[in-house]
Structure 1
Amino acid sequence: MPTYDYKCTSCGYTFEVFQKISDEPIGFCPKCNGKVKRLIGAGAGTIFKGSGFYQTDYKNKSNKPTEVKKTEGDKHSGDKDRK
C-alpha cells in the first residue's frame, strides 16, 4: 500500500496517510478540519531483495590491471650525478 502526502489549504499542515490505491482521497485536515490537497510524490523507490548487487558481480576478470615492472633503465636520473 502506498503512502500519500496531503497538505491543508487552511493551516498548511502537511501529513502522510498510508492507504490503498482504491481508497478515496482524504478530504479534511486532522488538525483544523480544513480542506486538504493531495501532493504529487516521487513514488516509491526501487526495492532490491536478496543478497544484493556488487560491483564485482559484473567485472570482467580478464581486464585486471597489468603490473608495471621496474628495470635498470627506470632508475632516477639523479642517481648518476651522485658520487
Structure 2
Amino acid sequence: MPTYQYKNLNTGETFEVSQRITEKAWTVHPETGDPVKRLISKPGIAFKGSGFYVNDSRPSSSSEG
C-alpha cells in the first residue's frame, strides 16, 4: 500500500498516511478537522550505475551501415 504525505494547511504540520491507490485524497485531518493537502514527493526508487541509460542498450553507430 502506498504512503502519501499530507500537509496541514492551518499549522504547516506534515504527516504520512498509508492509503490504497483507489482511495480519494483526504481534504480534512481526521483528528482535528483542519484542512489538509496531499503533497507530491519524489519516488522512493533511484536507478544508478551503468545499464540504465538508453545508449547502453543500443548498438553503437559505428557498427550500423
If the length of structure 1 is used for normalisation, what is the TM-score? 0.48
Change (3 A) 1:30 1:12: farther
* Structure holding more helix per residue: 1
Which structure: larger Rg?
A: 1
State the distance in 2 between where 1:21 and 1:31 align.
Answer: 22
> Which residue in the other structure is 2:4 paired with?
4
If the length of structure 2 is used for normalisation, what is the TM-score? 0.60
* Structure holding more strand per residue: 2
Question: Which structure 1 residue ranges, 4+ long, deviate > 3 Å from structure 2?
Answer: none
| Percent pairwise identity | 41
Q: Which runs of 5+ in 2 are unaligned?
A: 47-65
Q: Which runs of 5+ in 1 are unaligned?
A: 47-83
Give the alignment's Cα RMSD to 1 decimal.
1.5
